[in-house]
Amino acid sequence: MDRLRDRIIPVITILLVIVAAWYAFAVYMNAPFQRDLDRRAGLTPGTVEFVGKTLSQPKPTMPAPHQVAQNFFENTFLRKVTSARSLVYHSWVTLSSTLLGFTFGTALGILIAVGIVHVIALDRSLMPWIIASQTIPILAVAPMIIVVLAAIGITGLIPKALISTYLSFFPVAVGMVKGLRSPDLMHLDLMHTYNASASQTFWKLRVPASVPFLFASMKVAVAASLVGAIVGELPTGAVAGIGAKLLAGSYYSQTIDMWAALVAGSVVAAMLVVLVGIVGKVVERSMGGRPA
């Protein structure tokens, strides 16, 4: 009970501080426009009334938390899943490309890591290029990927998944390299004493040792994959997905819709990270690991 309380109380405290700061910034950001409206209407509201108006504008510069929460609730629970305004629908569209890209990125990251650990030439030549690839802004890469693939007739889910792959393979590759190299020299000498082959050492020592590193890096990768899917929807002119929802909101100054879509993306990312963590614990326990 005490352990649960120690985990929940700090999180709730930080959340309350964020909400309070959010309200303060909403009043500050929306105040100039509200003053202009009151001046044109010849009104001189009191402080409390003025603050209330800044927090209830239909198209605010920065929506208040309760406006975002109301929009999120309505577009998540009170609309049909097939509706074009449903956040569940848009989240599913983004989630499909996220999962595909995450699968591709995880597989690619593991293959690269295995190659780097076993081939010295790849370690010296490939790893610097992998690190350099992540210095290129994804907003610059995404349109090029979309245009090139569209030129050869590949559109739809695959381009967005490849952008997710670009962001998600790096943490998996780095984590797996560290994990595959994590066994102690004593353990490696023991396998050599048992006359174990390279493949036996890999499957019986290196792979089990790398599992915690793999799932830790997969948590980062799945969140990055979601970001890649959202970014991939922006230059495609997509009509569905969280990125499309953000784009449509920016066109029509629907800031509340935009923030609600961001909250939906955050919820999806949190659920994916939790799911990866649960799968990781199940795998570790099935391999004989002790619960933390």
The mean-pLDDT minimum among 99-113, 200-214, 217-231 falls in 200-214
Q: In whole numbers, what is the pLDDT of the chain averaged over residues?
A: 86
The reported pLDDT for the residue numbered 287 is 78
pLDDT tens digits, one per residue of 244-258: 888 888 888 888 999
- Evaluate whether residue 235 is within a structural domain: yes
Per the structure, the count of domains in the chain is 2
Do 152 and 249 belong together in one domain? yes
- Evaluate whether residue 70 is within a structural domain: no
Do 193 and 258 belong together in one domain? yes
The reported pLDDT for the residue numbered 86 is 85
- The share of the chain scoring above pLDDT 90, in percent, equals 33
- Evaluate whether residue 72 is within a structural domain: no
- The share of the chain scoring above pLDDT 70, in percent, equals 96
- Give the CATH number, domain containing residue 219: 1.10.3720.10
The DSSP string of the chain is -HHHHHHHHHHHHHHHHHHHHHHHHHHHHHHHHHHHHHHHHT----HHHHHHHHTS-SS-SS--HHHHHHHHHHHHHSS-TTSTT-HHHHHHHHHHHHHHHHHHHHHHHHHHHHHHHH-HHHHHHHHHHHHHHTTS-HHHHHHHHHHHHHHTT--THHHHHHHHHHHHHHHHHHHHHHHHT-S-HHHHHHHHHTT--HHHHIIIIIHHHHHHHHHHHHHHHHHHHHHHHHHHHTTTT-SSSHHHHHHHHHHTT-HHHHHHHHHHHHHHHHHHHHHHHHHHHHHHHHTTPPP-
Q: Residue 289: is its pLDDT beyond 80? A: no
Do 260 and 131 belong together in one domain? yes
Domain span at residue 262 reads 87-286
142 confidence band (pLDDT: 50, 70, 90):
confident
The reported pLDDT for the residue numbered 290 is 58
Q: Residue 172: is its pLDDT beyond 90? A: yes
The reported pLDDT for the residue numbered 148 is 82
